[in-house]
Structures are given as C-alpha cells and as structure tokens.
Structure 1
C-alpha cells in the first residue's frame, strides 16, 4: 500500500510539472503570437516604399500615366487598360493589408506598452506619432488615387466585414486633425523607434520636418477646392512656420540593399527580371530636348548621342529608344538600375515646388515664387548628379527662367515639376491632375474606358464590386460614377 501511495505521488508530481511543458508545445516559436511594434513598423515602411517605388505593372503604373515611360510590347497600361491585370485590386490590397494593417497592429502593441518614467512615456508617444504620420500619408495616397474609400469602418473585419466608403473631402479634413495631434505629440528631445525605423532611424526632429512637409503637401493638394481654400492657406503657412524640408538631406527615403530581396524594386523589375519592357516616352524626352535639359543623361541612356523617346503607347523595339539602361549586366545604365538606389516618398524638390505654388496663391510662406522654383530645379539637378554649372546654364535659358518661360505660373511650375518628379510617377501624375500641366494627351489607341483622357483616378477594385457591392454602388454614385475620367474632389480645373 505504501508503494502504491508513493507511485501515485510521483505520477501526480510528474503530470503537474508537465502541464506547463505540454502547453508550451502549442507555442510555435517560429510564429510568435505577438510581433514587436518595431518589426511591424519596419514591414509597413518597406511595403509602403516598395509600392510607391515599384514599376511592376501589376501594382504601380504611374510612370506610364505621367508619360515618363512607355511600354515596348505589352501596351495595356500605357493605353490605360488597368483591369487586364487588376491593377486597382493589387494597389488597394497592398495599401490596406500590407501597410495600414501592419501600422494598426504596431499602434496597438505600442499602446499596450507599460511606462514608468516620464521619459518612457515621451518615447511611447513619439512612437505612436510616427505610426500615425505613416497612417496619414498612406490614407492620402488612397484618397488621391480612388476618391471616396473605406475609412471609419476600415481595418475592422469583425464589426465591419463590408465597410462603407467615406467622403474623400471629409477624410481629408479628419486627416488634417490627426496630423495636428501627431505633431503635438512629437518631442524631439526624446527617441522613438531607433534603428527599427528604416526612414529616419528614430530621429524625431526629422519626423517633425516630415510631418510639416506632409502638411504642406496636403494643403497644396486641396488648394483649388473652393470650400477648402482658406484651410489650405492656413495649413500651408503653419507648416512652413514650423519647419519643412530645407535640403535633400531631409528627404523621406529608405536605403535599399545590394542583394535581393531587399534591393530597390526597380532592380527586380528592370534588371534581375531580364525584361526589356520600358523605354523613355516621347512627350518627356521631347520636352527635355527642347530645353537642352542637363538631366537627360542622368535619366536616360543615349542612342548614338541623341535622346529618343518612343511615341507614347505605340510600342517598339527597346534598342531604338532611350531608356533607364540595358538590363544586361554589361550594358550601359543610369542610377535607376542600381540595386541600392534609395526610395523616396517625399522630398525637398517636391517641397520647393509647393512653396513656389503657395507664393503664387498668395500664401505667406516667405520668398518669391521664382526663388522656390529655382530651388526646386536646382535640387533636382544636383540630386541626380548634375553640377552647379549645369544648374546655372539651365536656369538662365529664356525658356526655363521663371520670368520668361511660357505660360501662366501653373504651366511654368507644372512643366518643371513634371521633369523634376522623374522616377516619382505618382507625384508627377498628381501634379498633372492638379495643375493641368503639362498638357498631356491620351493616345489614339487608348482603352475605351479612358474616354480619350489621361486617367484622373483609378477605378475601384473589381473585388469590391463583388464582395462589397452595396457600398461600392453608393460610393460610385457619390463621386459621379466609377470611371477613370471622374475627377477627385480637389481636381476642379
């Protein structure tokens, strides 16, 4: 009997000790239940930059819409057929699932962090504000691409499996409020994410400049909308007073690595793929040729000493036209084919063009429109590797000089911004939509859905029509029809 009692005691002890051990077996150490906020932030940043930088025709066709490039063989996207490869669906999915969803989770993780000291609370608030700035930027991209979008009910599949679409203008107004709160929460006396932040390595002073530059960008975007013109002026002036980018050192960039899968997406799209899909488009090359623009050899390789653009959406042989370079490893190339080329989502060149525009609109942002215009062009030329001699020679040309260049201020700024936003197709397309310059023309062979116009927006994803039909239909009606030609609320010219 004593032996039985001892045995039972041993077994009881064994099972009680093994309960925790057995439970631990259910935890997959390679798939943690909680992902650190820094990892979520870094993943969201990488996906955001990849989305904005890529030229993969399944997700980013903005260089084509801006007529910086055109396609050689597969011409669907140059002809504005974006449904063949479901481009809107991919763009929508990446923005919501791979960027905003990760940012939402990072925000929740940081919110749950326990702080003891006042300094720890400051760092926590800085982290939350950085996440919020990227949220705001990402939502502006969605609004400026589609118009009305899911916002208040987005990213909550449990409560809202079929989210409603919010009014785009109302979203912008809320984003301005969120931006103000994020700026107020930033304290550059303290750190944030440190090295886990791939953009500014946790430097809060840099994030403050980004926040104010984003504020300026948003203000200028809505400047022509009649009911927002006063707000635009106020926000632009506040941003400049608080401090926007003052050099290319402030640029919001991500540094790519020399080896895949962490190279600049262009390297994968243009080099490692071995494809010869893109060449220079005739509209941009002809404009740059007419101005003897010193950026031509920095943007494109020459063809027997000349820069030759392919007629837009016409197709043609790769070797007959200028391009970013030969994908073959022993071929000539520009910086665009370097795997370590940095990615940009907001830069000093862009800020200076906005400031030139702000002055022309009567905003009290300091300086003259001519000075900011010259600063923007100078910044672009130097960024791409040109010299100050190139800058001086270029700016004194009557066709370039602000006082003598052709047209209204919108034409002068719009055409030079179009050149300066090279490799930033989204910004070039948006600038064109706002200012209506340059005077881009849809190709004669454009898809019927384009209605003989350069697209003003993306149509909504096909899956939204299928899975969220009633809300899709309401949104389509609200914006004036789900067409490529439907103008967004701020595009009133």
Structure 2
C-alpha cells in the first residue's frame, strides 16, 4: 500500500508540473538576485566604481608609480618590479588590470547599445556619460599596453580570438567617443537625470562636458610626438575645469582609496629616494617635503632606487598622505593646469609661468586628508623666481610629477614615456640602475596570452616590454 501511495504521489506531481505554463515556469526559475537585464542607470554606477577603483587606482597605478619612481617597491611583487626581476615582462603581472579594463569596456558597450538603438533610445545623458567613460577606459588600456583587441573584443560567443587594433586607430575612436559624449550630453531627453546613481557628478551634465574637454586636452598632449597641437590642448583646458570642484575624481565612503588599502594590507610600497631628493631640491620653503613622508627615528628613510636596495617591510618611510578617504583621481584640476602650462611653454607664451604657479597652488591645496594652505603654496611659489625656456619647461614637468604623488602614477608614467619620445627625457630624473630594463609598456594579460593566438604571438617571451615603445611614443605597436 505504501508503494502505491508513493507512485500515485509521483504521478500527481508529474501531472501538476506538466500542467504549468512555460511562462509560469520561467517566472518560477527566474533568479531575482541575478537579473539578465537592468536599466542602464543602474549598470553605469557599477562602471564608475570599477573604473576608479579597479582600473585607475589599483595595480596599474602601483606599477606605474614604481616605474616612474614616484614610489619604490620594497616587498614581494612590487620589489620584483622595482629591481626588474622578471615581474615587468610577465603576463600574470598585469592580468587583473587587463581583465578589469575589458570588463568595463564590455559593460559600457551594452549601455551605449541600449541608449542608441535599444529599449532606452533617447537616454542621452546616460549615453553621453557612457561614451566618455568608454573613451577614458580605452585610453588607460591602450596607453599601458599599446595595440590591443578593441573592435572585436567583448563579443562573447561570437568572436573567440579578437584581432588586435592599432593604437593610432584606437586613439581616433577615443577622440570620437569624447566628442560624441559631449554632443549627446547637450541634447534634450525625456529620461530623468542619473542623480544619485552618478557617484561622480550627481547627474550634472555640464560637469561631465567639462571632464570630456579635460580628457581631450590630456590626449591631445599625449599625441604631441606624433602631432603637436598645443593651442588645441589650451583650448580644451579653457573649456574644462574652473576649479578643483569640477575635477573627475571618485570619493565615496564605501569605496576606500586603493593605494591606502593596498599599503595597509601589503606594506609593499615605500618612499623612493630619487623622488625624495627631488622634493629636497626644492628648498626649505616647500612645506610638502617635511609632510609627505613618515619618519623613522626622526628621519625619512628612503629606498635607494639607484641600486638594488634591501627588500623588507616596515624598514622604510612611507607616504604620510595615505588615507582610505583620499580621492581616486581620474583627471585632476592640477593636471589640467600643468597641461596648459606645458603647452604655453612650448609655444613660448609669456603666461606659461603664471599658469604653472596656479597649477602648483592647485596641487598644494588638492582635497585630501592631509592638506596644505594657500599661504604655504604662495611662499613656495615666491621662492622659485622667474624662469624661461628650458628651465621653465623642466620646472613645469617636475612640479607636475610631484603633483601626482602618491597614486596618480599612470599619468606620471605616461608623461615620462612621452617626454623621452620628444627628446626631453632628462626633465624628470630617473636613477634606476637598469635603464635598459625600463618598461616601455605593460605586458599583455595572461588570460589573453593563453587563449588568443593574436596576443600570444605579439607577447612572445614578454621581453618586448623593454624594447618596443607604444605608437604615441614612437613605436609601431
């Protein structure tokens, strides 16, 4: 009897399942915690967080800061990068940043498709912001890696080994996307503003337009070796930030500054002696020198990066500016002013030093946990004296380099490579004892070296990172 009851129960259960409609079953099986589609306003918030934390502020900034000698690596993989022990040419070194960049590009393309021809056609604010963020993420990727998969990348299940696009062509699209973003942000839309979903500007389209113009200024200067357009860069700066209140940065109580988080967790980055010496050379009126670095036994103990100094945690001074509350800069006001000052100096314009002085003041007073006053900035600026010609250009680039401390390392690294291509490699002193092993680019990420023959062939044994400049720095790829 018991077996009969079980059999009847099984048959009834089967009948009930067969009686359910497919729509009902789809509804039952739907995982509400893992939706396959959502509004673009929700997606773009995640992209903003990841663009700042995972792409700009993390691994790429740590390694670029070491290569540009803003910092020194004193432990584990950062020490290996410091002393050029295999790390710079390994595909595993940069794999996290490589994958994070492609994840943002893929997501931004989804948003752009939705707002261009999809179900949110006419959502111009979200579209414009997505185009600006795509240009930004794409520039970070190609600046560090050179020629990369782009047009065919991110088409899951369709193209499994995307071809590699030339950096020159990629840069054309960067400029196009920024200009398209500006145009779309100026359009009228029936869609509501992003508001609080925009964690950077709170849905303020005018500020995003300023940011796009600032990025156009940065990338115009980036291409100076290939095609100098200094007046164009100045014009873009003039259309961009009016103060530090406008700058493209990420500050959120729930998202820690990755440099501080990494240092607290790993203790792998310390004070670079060459950078410390640059600060000391500014003289006693530069209040930053005494406040930038922690003291050990009452003195700054810097890693001597003119030799293969000792590896160890806790034996060197570290940044005294470090805080998880510090902003993550995607494009700062001080960088923008330094771009303008450089362009004016290269054109021989008389106002170049005035602009440099404004840039120094913006750098001094940038909004972080440890701050300096305008009075301190003015005292230092007054000590500089009048500069012209090469001396002025050198001071502009050195002060710009200082302004990137502690973790705007990507832009410092980009500047050093650009200046070398332009014959100005002496403007920022570099003392690493292995100049032939200065990484001219990052090695392709392991995930694609292992799965994409187009990348594997270009990667080879990874030694190309020491031999081949990216296109905008005079290379072919």
TM bin (shorter chain): 0.7 to 0.9
Deviations 1:418-467 (A, max 9, x none): 111112111111111122231213334xxxxxx72422211223443332
TM-score by length of 1: 0.81
For residue 428 of structure 1, the aligned residue among 412, 424, 440 is 412
2:148 equivalent to 1:149: yes
Q: Which moved more, 1:367-376 or 1:435-444?
A: 435-444
Deviations 1:9-42 (A, max 9, x none): xxx9997676543331121111112133122211
Q: Do the aligned partners of residues 153 and 60 (structure 1) sit closer, same or farther apart at CA in structure 2, a change above 3 Å counting?
A: farther
Q: Do the aligned partners of residues 367 and 177 (structure 1) sit closer, same or farther apart at CA in structure 2, a change above 3 Å counting?
A: farther
Q: Is the 8 A contact 2:88 2:439 kept in 1?
A: no
Partner of 1:281: 272
Unaligned 5+ residue runs, structure 2? 1-14, 420-424
Q: Is the 8 A contact 1:296 1:307 kept in 2?
A: no
1:298 shift after superposition: 4.0
Partner of 2:30: 27
1:146 shift after superposition: 1.1
Equivalent residues in 2 for 1:318-329 (5 A)?
A: 318-324=313-319
For residue 37 of structure 2, give the secondary structure of its aligned residue in structure 1.
coil
2:281 equivalent to 1:290: yes
Aligned residues: 440
For residue 279 of structure 1, give the secondary structure of its aligned residue in structure 2.
strand
For residue 356 of structure 1, the aligned residue among 320, 337, 341 is 341
2:472 equivalent to 1:482: no
Deviations 1:137-171 (A, max 9, x none): 11111111011111221212333211111111121
Tell me: higher relative CO, structure 1 or 2? Use CA pairs within 8 A at least 6 residues apart.
2
Partner of 1:389: 375
2:233 equivalent to 1:236: yes
Q: Is the 8 A contact 2:338 2:355 kept in 1?
A: yes
Q: Do the aligned partners of residues 193 and 113 (structure 1) sit closer, same or farther apart at CA in structure 2, a change above 3 Å counting?
A: farther
Q: Do the aligned partners of residues 249 and 425 (structure 1) sit closer, same or farther apart at CA in structure 2, a change above 3 Å counting?
A: same
Equivalent residues in 2 for 1:284-433 (5 A)?
A: 284-291=275-282, 292=284, 293-312=286-305, 313-324=308-319, 334-336=320-322, 338-362=323-347, 368-383=351-366, 385-397=371-383, 400-401=384-385, 403=387, 407-422=390-405, 423-433=407-417
1:63 shift after superposition: 1.6
Q: Which moved more, 1:373-382 or 1:13-22?
A: 13-22
Partner of 1:96: 102
Q: Do the aligned partners of residues 114 and 68 (structure 1) sit closer, same or farther apart at CA in structure 2, a change above 3 Å counting?
A: closer
Partner of 2:83: 79
For residue 70 of structure 1, give the secondary structure of its aligned residue in structure 2.
strand
Q: Is the 8 A contact 1:70 1:310 kept in 2?
A: yes
The Cα RMSD (Å) is 3.0
TM-score by length of 2: 0.83
Deviations 1:206-238 (A, max 9, x none): 00000100000010000121xx23xx3464254
For residue 77 of structure 1, give the secondary structure of its aligned residue in structure 2.
helix
For residue 330 of structure 2, give the secondary structure of its aligned residue in structure 1.
strand
Partner of 1:447: none
Partner of 2:422: none
Q: Do the aligned partners of residues 17 and 483 (structure 1) sit closer, same or farther apart at CA in structure 2, a change above 3 Å counting?
A: closer
Equivalent residues in 2 for 1:460-471 (5 A)?
A: 460-470=444-454
Q: Is the 8 A contact 2:234 2:340 kept in 1?
A: no
1:100 shift after superposition: 1.1
Q: Is the 8 A contact 2:130 2:181 kept in 1?
A: no
Deviations 1:225-280 (A, max 9, x none): 1xx23xx3464254245x1112111111111326xxx3222343122x2x432210
2:107 equivalent to 1:67: no
Deviations 1:78-131 (A, max 9, x none): 12323558123222111002x11221222233342357xxxxx4xx11210100
1:408 shift after superposition: 4.1
- Find the aligned partners of 1:380 and 1:52 in 2 and give their Cα distance: 23
- Find the aligned partners of 2:398 and 2:158 in 1 and give their Cα distance: 46
- Find the aligned partners of 1:321 and 1:88 in 2 and give their Cα distance: 25
2:52 equivalent to 1:49: yes
- Find the aligned partners of 2:385 and 2:43 in 1 and give their Cα distance: 46
Q: Is the 8 A contact 1:294 1:381 kept in 2?
A: no
Q: Is the 8 A contact 1:433 1:456 kept in 2?
A: yes
Q: Do the aligned partners of residues 32 and 415 (structure 1) sit closer, same or farther apart at CA in structure 2, a change above 3 Å counting?
A: same
